[in-house]
Chain A
Amino acid sequence: MFDDFYSQFKLNFIDENRWVSLLKGLGTTLEITFLALILGLVIGIVIAAIRSTYDKNQSSLKKKGGFGYVVMRILNFICNLYLTIIRGTPVVVQLMIAYFIIFANAKDGTLVAVFAFGLNSGAYVAEIFRGGIMSVDNGQFEAGRSLGFNYPQTMIHIIIPQAFKTVLPTLCNEFIVLIKETSVAGYVGVMDLTKAGDIIRGRTFSAFMPLIAVALIYLLLVIILSSLVKRLERRLRKNER
């Protein structure tokens, strides 16, 4: 039995250096996740800033009227449209639209995947951040303003540091989802971890070893990330309550 296991292992990972393609796939998965995460964070923060500014200042903007109010309304509308479309369609479809329609001439599927996953993740990150900002007690906002801080200063020094603590677990969850979501990148010809495992399966005609190996690698990644964030969370919370 052990011999059987060993020969399967050798066939799937060692012969023809198949483990190298798994390793390369893992690299691609990490690359896409990492870059999409940064893109998603940037998009998410910008959108959350626009939407919560609009929500918090709606009445005073309306009263002042004029150019500022119109611009904010348009920006808010665009953000809402983006959120609705991104959250209302499957990520695989978005990925394929990006690859086959928007960037039809693209040679590098990896960059298109970064774009698609980043855009997708941004929508969820935006709502997570907005929820965090809105969850900070309004008294904190008033205290900041009463000291003489303007709106952006109050946000940066007082509201966002508190909001960040609240959203950290949810944000972490979103990143874990993102790592796993990138497994559909194979749809547009990207050789990520899942695709690499699948190709080995096609070559060796044995599904068990490569697929379980792929699953274990994802699991390990998620466990490592979770424990890192848990440690960060504990450090942030040390001084409170």
Chain B
Amino acid sequence: MKDNDSLIVVECLKKHYLNGKVKALDGIDTEIKKGEVVVIIGPSGSGKSTFLRSLNLLEEPTDGKILFEGTDITDPKTNINLHRQKMGMVFQHFNLFPHMTILKNMTIAPKKLLRKSEKEAKKKAMSLLKTVGLEDRANDYPSQLSGGQKQRVAIVRALCMEPDVMLFDEPTSALDPEMVGEVLEVMKNLAKDGMTMITVTHEMGFAREVATRVLFMDEGKIVEQGTPSQIFDYPQSERLKDFLSKVL
């Protein structure tokens, strides 16, 4: 571990397809400290989702190292399942379990993996549901919820495991425009409470308002990074200027 408050250290991370012909990630180095809210932006195909998904090894990197809380999780001997419990993930398409009620969606992992009692897991789930205003939907099934509601449930489902970091993979991209706000609101509150967050998003407003650091990726590399003001107001590279001119 480089210093005490670094949570994730990424060293020269590479992901290649087709024997190296396609380089989705081409040497990523970065360090994420506790309490940071990192937002990753970049054009589609730039590798930002691949990078995020590599952090909990949903995508297996071709080369490089990821240290999470001091442990090299890319080492085949590491039990990745234990570390994933500490890394909550929210997906673009929510991925709630359709055969379980909202409550069961939230309690199954704490019950099976953290050995929490039914009562304990339920109490935690209900208090989290309350924070996103969905406590009255606990016994409904995912199909009865709107997209925004599903995504709010997906966020609190991940929080039930009491993770040290939350990974958001384009959490608002599959939502109808009028539902984006409610999900971003939940994420803002989470950031305010001090959760370490890494978010891939196209919501530049969110990046500007909430991020402590913005990473701009292109062609599998981090091209530029800095505070929201540095990135949005004083972009340095031509590629970032070009990207911003298209999305802002």
Contacts and interface: CB of A to CB of B under 8 A. Distances in A.
Interface in A204-224: none
A147 B76 contact: no
A90 interface: no
Interface string A43-75: 000000000000000011001100000000000
A142 B58 contact: yes
A142 B93 CA distance: 11
Taking each of A137, A142, A143, A240, which has the highest tally of chain B beta carbons within 10 Å of its own beta carbon?
A: A143
A148 B130 CA distance: 24
B113 A145 contact: no
Size bracket, chain B contacts: 20 to 34
Contact of B58 (A137, A140, A145, A157): A145
B244 to A, nearest CB: 31
Given A146-B56, A148-B84, A161-B99, A240 B143 contact: yes
A239 B81 contact: no
B110 to A, nearest CB: 9
Given A64-B76, A162-B98, A149 B91 contact: no
Nearest to A236: B99
A17 interface: no
Interface string A218-232: 000000000000000
Given A142-B95, A158-B97, A240-B98, A147 B143 contact: no
A148 B79 CA distance: 10
Contacts of A137: 95
Nearest to A161: B99
A142 B109 contact: no
A234 interface: no
B141 A240 contact: yes
B118 interface: no
Contacts of A146: 56, 58, 84, 87-89, 91, 158
A241 B60 CA distance: 34
Contacts of A143: 89, 91, 95-97
A148 B113 contact: yes
Size bracket, chain A contacts: 20 to 34
A157 B60 contact: no
A148 B96 CA distance: 15
Contacts of A158: 97
A120 B99 CA distance: 32
A88 interface: no
A162 B97 CA distance: 9
A106 B101 CA distance: 52
B82 interface: yes
A140 B97 contact: yes
Interface in A129-143: 137, 139-140, 142-143
Interface string A136-171: 010110111111111001000110011001000000
Interface of A: 59-60, 63-64, 137, 139-140, 142-150, 153, 157-158, 161-162, 165, 239-241
27 contacts: A59-B60, A63-B60, A139-B91, A139-B95, A140-B95, A142-B58, A142-B89, A142-B91, A143-B95, A143-B97, A145-B81, A145-B84, A146-B56, A146-B91, A146-B158, A147-B85, A147-B161, A148-B81, A148-B84, A149-B81, A149-B112, A149-B113, A161-B99, A162-B97, A162-B99, A239-B141, A240-B141
